[in-house]
Amino acid sequence: MAKSDEATLTAVVIADTFDRRFAPIVAESSSLSCLKVANIRILDYTLEWLSRTEIRDVIIVVASSHESVLEDFLNYWKDSFGTLKLVACQNCMSVGDAIREVDARSLISSDFLLIANPATFCSSDLGPQIEAYRERRKDKNNVMTLIYTRSEASNPVIAVEEKTNKLVFYHRSDDSSVLDVDKGVFIGDTLVRRDICDTGIALCSMNISAQFSDNFDFQNRDDVIREIIVNEEILSQYIHVDILPDNVAAFTVNDYEGLVRANRLILQRWVAPLVPGRVGSEQFISRRNNIFFAVSSEERSIENLPHLSCAGPGVIFGIKCTIDPAVTIKNSAIGNGVKIGEGSTITNSIIGDGVTIGCNVSLMGSFIADDVSICDGATIGPRCILANKVSIPKSKVVPSESVICSARCADDEEDIVCSTSERVDSVFEKSDEEGVVEKEMDNTEKFFEELAQKWKVLFSNYYKPIKNQIQALIAIEEFFNSMAIFQPLAAKTVHMFYEEDIVEEDAILEWHESLATDAPIRSAVAPIIAWLQQSDEDSESDE
């Protein structure tokens, strides 16, 4: 097939993260795409390496609340592609939601390259991998190719056919000590591998977007992969794995350690051509030992840059930094307007804009967000996360792997303790104050999906024991009696709590038995109780 006759690939980039681990450093009004690694925004890296591939059409999908912060990317990158579209997705809470939105708008009309995480880096134009994918696509049953790279770390286990690299087993659990593998996997020439890792890049046919649209419970790419592997005989669809050569760097970032690692690799030029000065609009002057200084267009004189004898290797400085000469910095990014006092040591860390670090402070493997203040002599343990505007007092000891946010905590323990009903009341009252409940009464399915995801972690932690789950249901009952607007939603709330594994069946039934016979909520939840009891009867009859 001539190249001109080949269907062009479209890139679909999910610009948000749905991993709550990044919540401390990503503001609700911002996006992971705007976070800086080596002083350059993450999405700039993604668009830079995409611009080096044959892909000319790019779709960036983002939650509607983050649309405005990405307009700057469109203005800068629009001339690098044929088309660059920003799709704002209302109530987007997963990769699945994002792809369903794109599919519903009929924006995908051919095979596409899926980047489900904006923090995905690649030093290759993926030419050989795209060509191999097209060759496989001559058989229309080959619907997806996952791009992997070799890695010495412990990785999730997969199994592939030796000759074809067809994926036959896919294990994504963090615990690889126990694998539930069908013995049929080992019939034939199968390679079980743990020496390769997923780069976060996937070449997909339109069957993949259709899978998301047909299955509204699919939240991420792994759901589709498992569906295809488990139902291979029914669907007659196959996934393959393509492993990048050793001279190509590619990886995706899923945690803070990954951010720090990406920062180090970029500064050490392992991901070239993705290096400061060649990505995005920022300008840098580089010195030997991989030391970079940000400069404005007016200030490109090397003489004006600070002379730091203890800096490097692998260090980048933002503009207007004030760094004491007696500071040691290695493999770290220092943001704009940062001040660091005498005797401090910064190693393998990311320091945001406007940070003030006092004298004799040591940071190792840490992520320090914008406008943080660390006073003299503070001890920050390794691998700490300090969110925006956190202030660490003088000589304070912060244990290793701590996550500290600037949200003000109660000064008195009595202020922290409140009844279960007060906690639930505050959640729903806040939603009502924001006009959420009344707005969404005509669209309760979306409302409860959003509400469940927003508060699930909090509720799950509070209501682990059965007795606490019953208290939560009592709180719903109290709110039902006091708020007329909530009454039509009470049954849906109980059902949502059950579906999200916040409350168990036994807790619901025990709570229901304790209700007065004339309690108004009894009739409201009657259908759910009948459904649970019927399920128990069916289970007993099956036994």
- Same domain? For 18 and 96 the reply is yes
- Same domain? For 390 and 492 the reply is no
Q: What are phi and psi of 323, to 5 degrees?
A: -120, 125
Q: How does pLDDT run across 353-374, given as a tens digit for each residue?
A: 999 999 999 999 999 999 999 9
User: Per the domain annotation, does 1 fall within a domain?
Assistant: no
Could you tell me the pLDDT band of residue 432, with boundaries at 50, 70 and 90? very low
Least confident of 41-55, 87-101, 126-140: 87-101
- Same domain? For 379 and 479 the reply is no
- Same domain? For 292 and 415 the reply is yes
Could you tell me the pLDDT band of residue 443, with boundaries at 50, 70 and 90? low
Residue with tokens 């996550």: 403
Is the separation of the CB atoms in 129 and 242 below 8 Å? yes
Per-residue confidence (pLDDT) for residue 288, from 0 to 100: 87
Per-residue confidence (pLDDT) for residue 423, from 0 to 100: 41
Sorted by sequence, the CB contacts under 8 Å of residue 281 that are 6+ apart come out as 76
Sorted by sequence, the CB contacts under 8 Å of residue 537 that are 6+ apart come out as none
Task: State the Cα–Cα distance between residues 145 and 51, nearest whole angstrom.
Answer: 20
Per-residue confidence (pLDDT) for residue 418, from 0 to 100: 36
- Same domain? For 437 and 392 the reply is no
Could you tell me the pLDDT band of residue 135, with boundaries at 50, 70 and 90? very high
Could you tell me the pLDDT band of residue 104, with boundaries at 50, 70 and 90? very high
Task: State the Cα–Cα distance between residues 529 and 527, nearest whole angstrom.
Answer: 6
Least confident of 55-64, 428-437, 531-540: 428-437
- Same domain? For 233 and 336 the reply is no
Per-residue confidence (pLDDT) for residue 354, from 0 to 100: 96
Q: How does pLDDT run across 182-226, given as a tens digit for each residue?
A: 666 666 688 888 889 999 999 999 999 999 999 888 989 999 999
- Same domain? For 371 and 452 the reply is no
Q: How does pLDDT run across 37-81, given as a tens digit for each residue?
A: 999 999 999 999 999 999 999 999 998 888 888 888 888 999 999
User: Per the domain annotation, does 293 fall within a domain?
Assistant: yes
Could you tell me the pLDDT band of residue 174, with boundaries at 50, 70 and 90? low
Percent of the chain with pLDDT over 70: 81
- Same domain? For 441 and 397 the reply is no
Cβ burial, residue 234 (10 Å; 0-12/13-18/19+): exposed
Task: State the Cα–Cα distance between residues 162 and 512, nearest whole angstrom.
Answer: 57
**Is residue 307 scored above 70 in pLDDT?**
no
Domain that holds residue 446: 433-540
Task: State the Cα–Cα distance between residues 285 and 287, nearest whole angstrom.
Answer: 7
Q: How does pLDDT run across 393-427, given as a tens digit for each residue?
A: 999 999 999 999 876 433 333 333 333 334 444 44
- Same domain? For 120 and 15 the reply is yes
Sorted by sequence, the CB contacts under 8 Å of residue 66 that are 6+ apart come out as 15, 16, 29, 30, 31
Could you tell me the pLDDT band of residue 309, with boundaries at 50, 70 and 90? low
**Is residue 3 scored above 50 in pLDDT?**
no
Is the separation of the CB atoms in 337 and 354 below 8 Å? yes
Q: And the tokens for 534?
A: 């019927």
Per-residue confidence (pLDDT) for residue 186, from 0 to 100: 63
Task: State the Cα–Cα distance between residues 524 and 151, nearest whole angstrom.
Answer: 55
What CATH number is associated with residue 376? Answer: 2.160.10.10
- Same domain? For 334 and 230 the reply is no
Length of the chain: 543
Question: Which is nearest to 288 in space by CA: 271, 268, 270, 273?
Answer: 268
pTM, two decimal places: 0.73
**Is residue 238 scored above 60 in pLDDT?**
yes
Per-residue confidence (pLDDT) for residue 409, from 0 to 100: 36
Least confident of 44-53, 423-432, 501-510: 423-432
Q: How many distinct structural domains can be found in the chain?
A: 3
**Is residue 28 scored above 50 in pLDDT?**
yes
Q: How does pLDDT run across 511-523, given as a tens digit for each residue?
A: 888 888 888 899 8
User: Per the domain annotation, does 161 fall within a domain?
Assistant: yes
Per-residue confidence (pLDDT) for residue 116, from 0 to 100: 95
Could you tell me the pLDDT band of residue 437, with boundaries at 50, 70 and 90? very low
- Same domain? For 487 and 452 the reply is yes
Q: And the tokens for 264?
A: 């180090």
CA 333 → CA 314, 348, 366, 508, distances in Å?
8, 8, 11, 52
Task: State the Cα–Cα distance between residues 57 and 497, nearest whole angstrom.
Answer: 42
Is the separation of the CB atoms in 495 and 525 below 8 Å? no
Could you tell me the pLDDT band of residue 532, with boundaries at 50, 70 and 90? confident
User: Per the domain annotation, does 289 fall within a domain?
Assistant: yes
